[in-house]
Structure 1
Amino acid sequence: MIGAAVKKATWPGLLRGLAGACHPLPSMAVTVVAVLLGVGAGLDGPGLVLLGAAVLTGQLSIGWSNDWVDAARDRATGRVDKPAAAGRVPVRAVAVAAVAASVATVVLSLLLGWLAGVALLLGVAAGWAYNLGLKATIWSGATYLFAFAALPVGVYAAAPGEPWPPWWVPVVSALLGFGAHFANVLPDLRADAETGVRGLPHRLGPRNGVLVMAAALATASVTLGLAPDGASVRYTVTVVTAGIVLVAATAVAAVLAPRSPLAFRLTVALAVLDVVLLIAVTI
């Protein structure tokens, strides 16, 4: 009777639970960044739609697999913000959604072309590898470096002629992803430690973690400001100045509010800003 009552009333709650379990902010942020990169790479309307769908389903699969794999660990640490751990959505439903999104992203990614599809799917594989165990090792940051470096390669390969991005585009993307890893993990250091998760940010500790995060994000902004050929002095000054200001705000947020997601949100804002500026210098 209880199961039937839950099943009868579940569809709205199930959808809300799945929406919360997919890690909506990073999923949407990566998708928006990919589509903006696609604009800069010269994709047309249908191409941008297909790219957005491929990247979004890949990110959904990573987000859902994270909550699926970590459900027991999150429940043990009282993570009420995680729908599967809090019982707001069945773990089995999250698992089914993760697998379905994985199948969808394989199909959609390969429709963009073999080179683009392989690059995008390697990034998704890195996200799954993180969830399945690398998050608890010193290699946790390497998965972010790899996944975010692969993203612009896949985006550019989906454009007409399958061009390769300028060297600094995947470098900037990788550094932003690496910094985002620290910003995302720092608020959960204590809870993760209770369950034996010791990734790179955990091993470095909160103080060193903030320094590494700030260094990665600042290097991304400086590289974006200085590397493009033919960039004007105004462009360089704008990019570097805006980047350093946002990096400083992110570091302050991480120090003053270590358990708040504010630092991660500022990192997302910095990533979107950098991509917009990247488009401005490449178009």
Structure 2
Amino acid sequence: MPSTVIGSADAPGRSTPGRAARVTRGLLRACHPEPTLVVTALITALAAAAGRSAAGCLLVAAAVLTGQLSVGWCNDRVDLRRDRAAGRRDKPLVAGALRPGTVAIAAGAALALCVPFSLANGASAGTAHLVAVAAAWAYDLGVKRTVLSWLPYAVGFGLLPVFVTLALPGHPWPQPWAVAAGALLGVGAHLTNVLPDIDADLRVGVRGLPQRLGRGRTRALAPVPLLAASVLLVFGPPGPVGGWGWAALAVTGALAVAVVLPGGAAAESRRPFLATLAMAATAVGLLLLHGAAFT
């Protein structure tokens, strides 16, 4: 039973190297390491592209990493009951590798560290990042079960260029097209991320916007904000559209067609998910390419 394993893996009052290693491994798995590292690397690279110094990029990385760790641990703690009902033995809390209190403390500690790291980038930039982290926490704490499930993603991703540029000398605001593209990328990321799990989410009572729309309509809708983000990132910056811009538009257009073609509607098909993921990656590439033009 999970309670038995929890007691042996994370029992209070016993501190051994083996137990510490098990708890550490469990926390690493529970923080959603892949998206945590990807988002941290993306925003740090965006800061470098916008002109931050090496020391500034380290501050960005520290703020984003602690914020993402707090969100990941919050997500696993809040979703414990749902994950148990779904039999998610890949989750450390469900498997009994961690106690719920341990994950809650880790989430709180990471959030506490995120505050000074964020503000070290400047008061305005730090506030923008903390609002983005708060939006992610709001999603975990219940917004994801509502028709507004897309909003925290739009707010969080839309604030990425704001966080990056406000930390530059002179604290310039980003161009509106950069903020809008970030927000659209966030909405597309939400739809793409949820797409494979819509049926399972509905079985456990999660009814965000994609779940309410259903698999078919979400599949058709997911490419739209990603394609719109790419259009903004190609035509928003000043100057002529280069070869990379036209190539990115061609790729995203072809992928959008691939999503809605017959054959991708089957529940077991991963083509829509993989195609929209590739569209998101293309938009992220454009975001990095135009980082210096944000201000």
Task: State the TM-score, normalized to the length of structure 2.
Answer: 0.86
Contact 1:42 1:160 in 2 (8 A): no
Matches within 5 A, 1:226-237: 226-237=235-246
Q: Which residue number in structure 1 is paired with residue 13 of structure 2? A: none
Q: Which moved more, 1:167-176 or 1:263-272?
A: 263-272
Is 2:136 the counterpart of 1:127? yes
Contact 2:154 2:187 in 1 (8 A): yes
Letter in 2 for 1:177: G
Letter in 1 for 2:9: V
Cα separation, 2, equivalents of 1:248 and 1:53 = 39
Q: Which residue number in structure 1 is paired with residue 105 of structure 2? A: 96
Cα separation, 1, equivalents of 2:163 and 2:294 = 17
Q: Which residue number in structure 2 is paired with residue 112 of structure 1? A: 121
Contact 1:57 1:102 in 2 (8 A): yes
1:244 is displaced (CA, Å) by 2.9
Is 2:85 the counterpart of 1:76? yes
Cα separation, 2, equivalents of 1:133 and 1:3 = 26
Match of 1:266 among 278, 283, 286: 278
Cα separation, 2, equivalents of 1:164 and 1:170 = 10
1:79-123 C-alpha deviation (Å, 9 max, x unpaired): 223222232322222111110110011110011111001100000
Contact 1:40 1:282 in 2 (8 A): no
1:270 is displaced (CA, Å) by 3.0
1:125 is displaced (CA, Å) by 0.4
Structure 2: runs of 5 or more not aligned: 11-15
Is 2:245 the counterpart of 1:225? no
Q: Which residue number in structure 1 is paired with residue 182 of structure 2? A: 173
Q: Which moved more, 1:84-93 or 1:264-273?
A: 264-273
Q: Which residue number in structure 1 is paired with residue 156 of structure 2? A: 147
Larger C-alpha radius of gyration, 1 or 2? Answer: 2
Letter in 2 for 1:279: G
Match of 2:171 among 162, 168, 175: 162
Match of 1:6 among 1, 9, 12: 9
Cα separation, 1, equivalents of 2:178 and 2:213 = 27
Cα separation, 1, equivalents of 2:219 and 2:285 = 21
Q: Between Structure 1 and Structure 2, how many residues are aligned?
A: 283
Cα separation, 2, equivalents of 1:2 and 1:258 = 36
More helix by proportion, 1 or 2? Answer: 1
- CA RMSD of the aligned region, Å? 2.6
Q: Which residue number in structure 2 is paired with residue 244 of structure 1? A: 253
Task: State the TM-score, normalized to the length of structure 1.
Answer: 0.90
1:67 is displaced (CA, Å) by 0.4
Match of 1:23 among 25, 32, 38: 32
Cα separation, 2, equivalents of 1:15 and 1:118 = 30
1:258 is displaced (CA, Å) by 5.1
Structure 1: runs of 5 or more not aligned: none
**SS of alignment partner, residue 140 of structure 1:** coil
